[in-house]
Structure formats: C-alpha cells, structure tokens
Amino acid sequence: MSLAKIEKAAEKYAMHCQALTDAANQANAEIEAVHQKHRTTIEKLAKGCAKAETALRDLVEGSPELFEKPKTQTFAGIKVGYQKGKDTLDMDADITVERIIKKLPDLKDSLIQTTLKPIAAAIMNLDAKQQAVIGVSVVAGMDTVVVKPVDSAISKTVAAHLQANR
C-alpha cells in the first residue's frame, strides 16, 4: 500500500462526491424554479383560503345555537361547529411541588418528576483525582478512519444522499 494509491482513491471519491453534489444542486435548482413559477398562484390561493376560513369561523362563532346538538356538522368535507378544548393546568410549579410534598407525600413519586443525571462535560473538566473519587475514569478515544469532503456543503449533500441509500 502506498500514499499514492490512497491519493488516487481519494481523488476518485472526490470526483464522485462532486458529481453527486452537482446533480443534487441541479435538482434543487429545478425544484426551486418550479416552486417560483407557481409561487404567486399559491400565495393568492392561500390568502383566499385564509379569508374564507375567517368568514366561516365568524359565521360559526355568531351562531352557537345552531351547534348545540350535534356540536359539529360537516359540509362539503369541512367539519364546523364546536368541540371541547384540551384541559390545561393553572399552577405555579414550585408551589405545587412544595404542597405535594407537604400534603400528599405518599403520591410525590408519581406526581413529581426528579431527574438526576451526571453532566459528562463537567465531569471531563475534573482532574483525575476528583474523577477517581466519584468512580469515573476517562477512556481514551480510539483513532477512526475519516473519509469526508473538506467542503461542508458537499459533505452535507453527500451524507444526506448516502444516508438515504443505506
């Protein structure tokens, strides 16, 4: 094995990566061109849709008596009327936790979430003696093979397409 052989393989890989990136960029440009071609129509239709929805909503809100039983009706595939909203809780979390501990101690494990987890980044900053005291040892990272384009745009394109094809 020689560096010259590895260099040739790297050149071949770079050529394939660049070809893939060029093809993906061309496809994205064509997709964008089609999107631009239809953008005005889409925006106009979206505004019309929003305006029609507001008008319909105003009509329903102005006539709640029409939706007592049943609460909803379907017209032209559009469900209109009233539905019960999702219940929410109004509380001050800190006060509620204190009250659960004081007044419902038997339920605190099921009503209070406690998360205890070591912070790896902070532990890495401890010296070896401190790490040993808490039973932690640093495992040195192993060298791994790296093969990736230096250009981040190419790298992202290649990675995305390679991931999709695995």
Q: What is the DSSP string of 125-158?
A: TS-HHHHHHTT--PPPPPP------SSHHHHHHH
3-state class of 3 per DSSP? helix
Which residues span the domain enclosing 74? 1-84
Strand partners of residue 73: 80
**Sorting pLDDT into bands at 50, 70 and 90, what band is 166?**
low
- Judged against a pLDDT cut of 80, whether residue 161 lies above it is answered with no
Residue 31 token pair? 């997709």
Q: What is the DSSP letter of 70?
A: S
**Sorting pLDDT into bands at 50, 70 and 90, what band is 164?**
confident
Region 141-153: mean pLDDT is 75
Q: What is the pLDDT of residues 67-107, one digit of tens each?
A: 999 999 999 999 999 998 888 899 999 999 999 999 999 99
pLDDT number for residue 157: 76
pLDDT number for residue 142: 83
Does some domain include residue 60?
yes
Does some domain include residue 148?
no
Q: What is the pLDDT of residues 9-64, one digit of tens each?
A: 999 999 999 999 999 999 999 999 999 999 999 999 999 999 999 999 999 999 99
Does some domain include residue 134?
no
Does some domain include residue 155?
no
pLDDT number for residue 147: 67
Element (H, E) at 72: strand 72-75
- Judged against a pLDDT cut of 80, whether residue 158 lies above it is answered with no
Spatial CB neighbours of 156, under 8 Å, sequence gap ≥ 6:
none
Does some domain include residue 109?
no
**Sorting pLDDT into bands at 50, 70 and 90, what band is 122?**
very high
Does some domain include residue 162?
no
Does some domain include residue 93?
no
Spatial CB neighbours of 19, under 8 Å, sequence gap ≥ 6:
none
Measured in whole angstroms, the distance separating CA 160 from the mean position of its chain's CA atoms is 16
Summary mean pLDDT of the chain: 90
- Judged against a pLDDT cut of 90, whether residue 111 lies above it is answered with yes
Q: How many domains does the chain have?
A: 1
pLDDT number for residue 159: 76
Does some domain include residue 4?
yes
User: Which residue has tokens 């981040």?
Assistant: 152
